[in-house]
């Protein structure tokens, strides 16, 4: 019996964008957000406002994150996603993810990145395999790292073992230092 191959993470990106675009067109919302009102030309923020493409993976990710968190339709979060990407760009997705966790920092070694789904590379750029990046590029200015998780390696099983080993080492150090302090000062446990 033949089974269909499991979808790749890149299929997930395409499906995520298609889902949001379907919602937008079904609701009659434009796929390009109107530009924000022009700022005061004499003011300190006189840069021209940019129109937002609502078909990008970043916008679709922001809209889905907001809609899922607030349990609302995507159309109600469209303006929020527009503002986020207009003001913060792709990097704003990391701030949004943290804000949705009540401001707590998000460890992408243990939490799948909402933008790249844990692959670590910018999903809109060619992959390392396609570009044939050398292994040492991981430690240099690797220009196509995910702007949200900064290329964090999502591997909770691997990192959990590392963290448990570190906690065990710290606990052993604490126990040995407390014993040596008691011996040094002539303190002993009461029985």
Where are the domains positioned within the chain? 9-154, 156-191
Using a 10 angstrom Cβ sphere, with 0-12 exposed, 13-18 middle and 19 or more buried, the burial of residue 137 is middle
Which tops the pLDDT comparison, 4 or 31?
31
Cβ within 8 Å of residue 189, ≥6 positions away: 182
User: Contact, 83 vs 44, CB < 8 A?
Assistant: no
Place of tokens 């909770």: 156
Residue 75, pLDDT score: 92
How confident is the prediction for the chain on average, in pLDDT?
83
Give the position of tokens 């099983």: 157
**Structure confidence at residue 172 (pLDDT):** 87
Nearest to 53 by CA among 19, 26, 17, 23: 17
pLDDT confidence of residue 10: 84
Distance between CA atoms of residues 24 and 171, nearest Å? 53
Whether the Cβ atoms of residue 146 and residue 121 lie closer than 8 Å to each other: yes
- Average pLDDT, stretch 18-42? 83
> Which pLDDT belongs to residue 168?
86
What integer pLDDT is reported at residue 162 of this predicted model? 80
């Amino acid at each position: 019996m033949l089974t269909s191959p499991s979808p790749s993470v890149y299929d997930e990106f395409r499906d995520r964008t298609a889902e949001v675009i379907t919602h937008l067109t079904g609701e009659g919302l434009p796929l390009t957000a109107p530009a924000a009102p022009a700022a005061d030309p004499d003011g300190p923020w006189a840069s021209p406002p940019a129109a937002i493409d609502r078909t990008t993976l970043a916008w679709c990710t922001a809209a889905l994150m907001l809609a899922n968190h607030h349990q609302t339709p995507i159309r109600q979060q469209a303006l929020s996603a527009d503002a986020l990407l207009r003001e913060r760009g792709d990097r704003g997705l990391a701030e949004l993810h943290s804000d949705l966790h009540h401001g707590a920092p998000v460890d992408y070694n243990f939490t799948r990145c909402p933008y790249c789904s844990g692959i670590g590379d910018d999903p809109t750029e060619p992959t390392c395999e396609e570009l044939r990046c050398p292994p040492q590029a991981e430690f240099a200015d690797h220009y196509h790292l995910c702007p949200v998780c900064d290329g964090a390696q999502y591997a909770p099983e691997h990192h959990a073992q590392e963290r448990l080993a570190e906690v065990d080492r710290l606990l052993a150090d604490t126990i040995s230092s407390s014993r040596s302090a008691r011996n040094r000062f002539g303190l002993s446990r009461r029985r």
